[in-house]
Structure 1
Amino acid sequence: MNNHIGIDVHQKKCHATVQDEDGMTVRQGYFQNSPSGFEDFFDGIGTGKTAIEATDAWQPVYDWLAERGFDVKLAHPHKTRIIAEVKIKTDCRDSEALADLVRADLIPEVYVPCDDMRELRGIAKQRGKLVQEKSKFKNRIKAQLRRRGIEYSGRSLWTKKGRLWLRDLEIDAVNDFLEVLKTLNERISELEGEIEGIAGDMEESQILMTIPGVSYYTALTIIAEIATIERFPSPGHLCSYAGFVPSVKQSGSKEVHGSIQGGRPLLRWILYQATHNHILNAPNSHVTKFYKRLKQKKPKKLAKTAAARKLTTVIYWMLKLKEEFHPEGYDPRTSR
């Protein structure tokens, strides 16, 4: 365990640096991002403390190393670069910087969910991507209509009647896009059935679905992104994780709040959607009343963000205390 290893991961290849306890490079080079590539590079290395940046392709090498007894840490890319710039004065490659940070015990870790939560995240993310693709093809159909000067305002294009109207126009590109939309809708329906089955058996999703406007998909996505509420010491930590905490610049007694930064994009998006749906479906809830009061003084977008932050705080306490949604609000300090 005296080895200190940094791995820069890409879709097809990885670059690794293996250092001994004195910082001397024992092995360095590229290898395929595949089990055979891992076998070739790490043959004879033994185990060691290892850091991998949290990119899209981290899972195969992370799992392979963890199964073989390596002490693996998933590093936060942005924070790693900041620390490396401050602590490491040499112009070294990413894998060398990671190895140096491992040896100095300065790796900013990212939470690694269990296999079940990874699967949930994959399902939620896939459904989200397919919905985004649907929006793209709908916009392409509208662009085809505008290009030909065909008026469609006031007409619902995506109902059965609307789709028949589009097909009667006999525009090849529009018909092609409608076929793609049909396939996407079928796959989204399949995923939603799978999501409903999973969420229906989870206590956490049942709790979250007591919030007006929160569906099976919304509940499952929130749970998949959070993984476990126990890893957040406070509601503020969860809000920060979701990306609802504004940046702060302070100089002397002056404090300036900027835009929200960071966070997990999918979690932030789904919480925005939940907030929007909640405001529409629960006009008398304390979250909706908070939004309406704030909207009178602040721009609508800022009020919606603040309401999403409030709903995120509510979700924190619901999951922490295992309590259903309270429309009138409650003080968690006096709750059971």
Structure 2
Amino acid sequence: MTLYCGIDLHANNSVISVTDDHDCVQYEQRLPNDLTTITESLYPFRSELLACVVESTYNWYWLVDGLMDAGFDVRLAHTGAIPQYTGIKHSNDESDARHLAHLLRLGILPEGYIQPREHRAVRDLLRRRMLLVRQRTLHHLSLQSLIARHTGERLSANQIKALDNEAIANKLAEPIRLGGQITLAAKCWLDRAIGKLELELQKHLIPCQNYQLLNSIPGVGAILASTIALETGPIQRFSSPGHYASYARCVSTEKISNGKIKGRGNKKNGNKYLAWAFMEAAHYSAIWSPEIKRFYQKRKAKRHILVAKKTVANKLARACFHMLSKQVPFEVKRAFG
């Protein structure tokens, strides 16, 4: 008899449901998030289990790795693509776990990609850097608008970077002066923290062919190349350039009927970190490559600036698909010719 296991994972507990070929429950229990307790509860069924399905929540690393180390076949459920229940009035954690096992039995379980554990720490460190960069930009813009609001002086980005406490004291009066100085201190701390993260990343980034290929794109350095490579994973996951560009959130989400926009699809479906990386790549490549800059300026003359940048990002995403699939460097004429 073949058995199927669904695990509804939460912050501090998990609901485990083991079902058979007729969806009859053979075992069901809510257990604390303790790896030893969970593996011991599943050991009696290991020889008959086809696989264990774990929800792709924010805290799945420890459970997936632990079950794999214990000899279980593990599948990561893509929660955003799981079909909703039809005709059911009541649901709970137990029914969710059974539903995962049911989809596994039918062979229609939408699966997420399980990143190799040796790459996850570096990828998460890159994501942490991205978070700090966004916070630094927030403090930068906050300080810029604060000075403009109180003095009428619009400082450039380089002028903001050159400010110190004395300059803030000369521009702002009490009591708002303290607010400006604290904002500047937070920005300076973030500068140092980002620098430390980048030094640590340099120790752990292992040069490979994909990094070198992505570095051939104008304006893409080590950080962006590493982010794109690690967030992408094996390019064979994607069947076409369009699917890859959609995963990177570089495609339109409009629903059009009879020439009219009737709504938008799930624009958040995809990898937000990859979307950020390609928008950054679009920004810098339009600076460093004359051909891409010319393409970008033509689009900007007709559409909104963000739409123009997204168009460049879409082109770069499609180019990256071909580069990683065929292991060839970037060719600007083929991508933007």
Class of the TM-score when normalised by the shorter of the 2 chains: 0.7 to 0.9
CA contact (8 A) 1:218 1:270 kept: yes
Q: 2:288 aligns with which of 258, 281, 289?
A: 281
Unaligned runs of 5+ in 2: none
CA distance in structure 2 between the partners assigned to 1:72 and 1:266 by the alignment: 25
CA contact (8 A) 2:31 2:38 kept: yes
Secondary structure of 2:334 counterpart: coil
Correspondence 1:303-314 to 2 at 5 A: 303-314=308-319
Distance 1:43 1:142, change over 3 A: farther
Q: Tell me how far 1:226 sits from its aligned partner.
A: 0.6
Distance 1:250 1:140, change over 3 A: closer
TM-score when normalising by structure 1? 0.83
CA distance in structure 1 between the partners assigned to 2:38 and 2:76 by the alignment: 17
Q: 1:217 aligns with which of 201, 211, 223?
A: 223
Distance 1:42 1:227, change over 3 A: same
CA contact (8 A) 2:286 2:293 kept: yes
Residue by residue, what CA displacement relative to the aligned partner does 1:269-325 show, whole Å, maximum 9, x if unpaired?
110111011112212x2x433333333433333222222111111112222222222
Q: What is the identity, as a one-letter code, of the residue corresponding to 2:330?
A: F
CA distance in structure 2 between the partners assigned to 1:190 and 1:201 by the alignment: 20
CA distance in structure 1 between the partners assigned to 2:165 and 2:210 by the alignment: 38
Q: What's the counterpart of residue 24 of structure 2?
A: 24
Q: What's the counterpart of residue 10 of structure 1?
A: 10
CA contact (8 A) 2:213 2:328 kept: yes
What number of residue pairs does the alignment pair up?
324
Identity, % of aligned pairs? 26
Q: Tell me how far 1:329 sits from its aligned partner.
A: 2.4
Residue by residue, what CA displacement relative to the aligned partner does 1:176-207 show, whole Å, maximum 9, x if unpaired?
44333333222211221233455572222222
Q: 1:194 aligns with which of 195, 200, 216?
A: 200
Q: 1:63 aligns with which of 62, 65, 68?
A: 65
Q: What's the counterpart of residue 315 of structure 1?
A: 320
Q: What is the identity, as a one-letter code, of the residue corresponding to 1:34?
A: D
Q: Tell me how far 1:36 sits from its aligned partner.
A: 4.0
CA distance in structure 1 between the partners assigned to 2:299 and 2:138 by the alignment: 33
Q: What's the counterpart of residue 298 of structure 1?
A: 303
TM-score when normalising by structure 2? 0.83
CA contact (8 A) 1:18 1:28 kept: yes
Q: Tell me how far 1:110 sits from its aligned partner.
A: 0.9
CA contact (8 A) 2:144 2:160 kept: no
Distance 1:34 1:163, change over 3 A: farther
CA contact (8 A) 2:250 2:275 kept: yes
CA distance in structure 1 between the partners assigned to 2:203 and 2:37 by the alignment: 38
Q: What's the counterpart of residue 334 of structure 1?
A: none
Distance 1:198 1:319, change over 3 A: farther
Question: Larger deviation: 302-311 or 13-22?
Answer: 13-22
Q: Tell me how far 1:162 sits from its aligned partner.
A: 4.3
Q: What's the counterpart of residue 117 of structure 1?
A: 119
CA contact (8 A) 2:316 2:335 kept: no
Question: Larger deviation: 173-182 or 315-324?
Answer: 173-182
Secondary structure of 1:7 counterpart: strand
CA distance in structure 2 between the partners assigned to 1:223 and 1:314 by the alignment: 13
Q: 2:236 aligns with which of 196, 212, 230?
A: 230
CA distance in structure 2 between the partners assigned to 1:250 and 1:85 by the alignment: 27
CA contact (8 A) 2:7 2:17 kept: yes
Distance 1:302 1:138, change over 3 A: closer
Q: What's the counterpart of residue 134 of structure 1?
A: 136
CA contact (8 A) 1:196 1:217 kept: no
Question: Larger deviation: 194-203 or 305-314?
Answer: 194-203
Q: What is the identity, as a one-letter code, of the residue corresponding to 2:289?
A: A
Question: CA-atom RMSD, angstroms?
Answer: 3.0
